[in-house]
Structure 1
Amino acid sequence: MKMITISALVLASSVTMAADYKIDPAHSAVTFKVGHLGVSTTPGRFNEFEGDFSYTEDKTSGSASFSIKTASVDTNHEARDKHLRSPDFLDAKQFPTLTFKSTQFDGKTLTGDLTLHGVTKPVSFDVNQIGEGKDPWGGYRAGFEAKAVIQRSDFGITYFIPGVTDQTEIEVFIEGIRQ
């Protein structure tokens, strides 16, 4: 079962010594924020995702891919989550995953194809490396944060605009374990 690793969005592939990492979901998160009725912001997250990333030693190129289980949407309100899984929004039965596959990474921006609700569009994430190093168990880890803003209507999700804003902020917090 594939899932989305937006933070995994964070890098990969290159001719010169790329390090390959698998996302550690226990230390990672894929979150989103949307406006509600012009009076508040509603945050949410996806609880089930996976992915991987790579980057060159100088961190000037790389790649990332991830897959998210859309039914794992969680806004801390079961009735709303059920509605978000419905055909009005994510349509989790028809579109069980949302995916990202990078096409370019320049050290600061990760660009790639985001597939959501059966529609694929290019999206760019601003990327920031948090750190990297050996872990207490003999492994090596790297962590990144990535942010992007999309218009959900670009992906065919138009229900209740503008009551729920079209603009959706996505943040990915990724910790990967070198393989």
Structure 2
Amino acid sequence: MKQGMLSSVIAGALMMSAQVNAADYIIDTQGAHASVQFSVSHLGYSFVVGRFNDFSGDFSFDNSDIGASKVNVTINTASIDSNHAERDKHLRSSDFLNVAKFPKATFTSTSVEPQGDGEFVLKGQLNLNGVTKDVAIDAHLVGEGKDPWGGYRVGFVGKTELALKDYNIKMDLGPASSHVTLDLVVEGIRQ
């Protein structure tokens, strides 16, 4: 009985230690040190590239326990920017993102699977255009450390691919344009 009690105390202490070591970060969108970019084939001949200019998020991270990390991101879908005003107007319409009805896209992590050498797979639920689906993001820890202003930062890059039809995107530009690639750059400032 004493051994069981001792095991419980040790397990509790380890859990508290893990919680203390994890730090909370805000994604640095104010300093433009983060981006959500996309590319999609244009009919198989070229690519349309762009970004979302307005998003925010936070995460918890401990390099010694990457698997315990958590991420939340919210994107203002009307901030889509492909450097072409008429196309952006169409992308905001019900043919694509339907921003009048669904002005926000959200990502909430459900698990993080370390792969070694700073590589990991971030899994979570993406809500886009009124549809929520599980996604996996291949990610890499770029680095972490003190900044020149007395703060502490950590940065990552990630990539995933989404099938447009999975998110009820009605416009069909053919098989070459059926998927979009998201490239993510995230720099967080420890709070």
Deviation at 1:163, TM superposition (A): 7.1
Structure 1 residue 159 corresponds to structure 2 residue 171: yes
Aligned to 2:80: 73
- 3-state SS, counterpart of residue 177 of structure 2: coil
Aligned sequence identity (%): 47
Aligned to 1:18: 22
Determine the C-alpha separation between the residues in 2 that align with 1:170 and 1:164.
Answer: 16
Deviation at 1:56, TM superposition (A): 2.2
Deviation at 1:170, TM superposition (A): 0.6
Deviation at 1:59, TM superposition (A): 4.0
Deviation at 1:16, TM superposition (A): 5.9
RMSD (Å), alpha carbons: 1.4
The aligned amino acid for 2:84 is: H
Bigger radius of gyration: 2
Describe the superposition over 1:81-105 as per-residue Cα deviations: whole angstroms up to 9, x where unpaired: 0100011100111000000000001
Relative to its length, the structure with more helix (as a share) is 2
- 3-state SS, counterpart of residue 106 of structure 1: strand
Describe the superposition over 1:88-135 as per-residue Cα deviations: whole angstroms up to 9, x where unpaired: 100111000000000001230000000000000000000101111111
Determine the C-alpha separation between the residues in 2 that align with 1:76 and 1:132.
Answer: 32
Deviation at 1:71, TM superposition (A): 0.4
Query: What is the TM-score when the length of structure 2 is the normalising length?
Result: 0.83
2:59 to 25, 49, 53: 53
Describe the superposition over 1:16-58 as per-residue Cα deviations: whole angstroms up to 9, x where unpaired: 6211100001111001110111100111100000001112231
Answer yes or no: is the 8 Å Cα contact 2:43–2:173 preserved in 1: no
Aligned to 2:156: 144
Determine the C-alpha separation between the residues in 1 that align with 2:92 and 2:63.
Answer: 40
Written as runs of structure 1 = structure 2, the 5 A alignment for 1:1-179 is 15=19, 17-25=21-29, 26-61=32-67, 62-107=69-114, 108-162=120-174, 165-179=177-191
The aligned amino acid for 2:167 is: F
Query: What is the TM-score when the length of structure 1 is the normalising length?
Result: 0.89
The aligned amino acid for 1:19 is: A
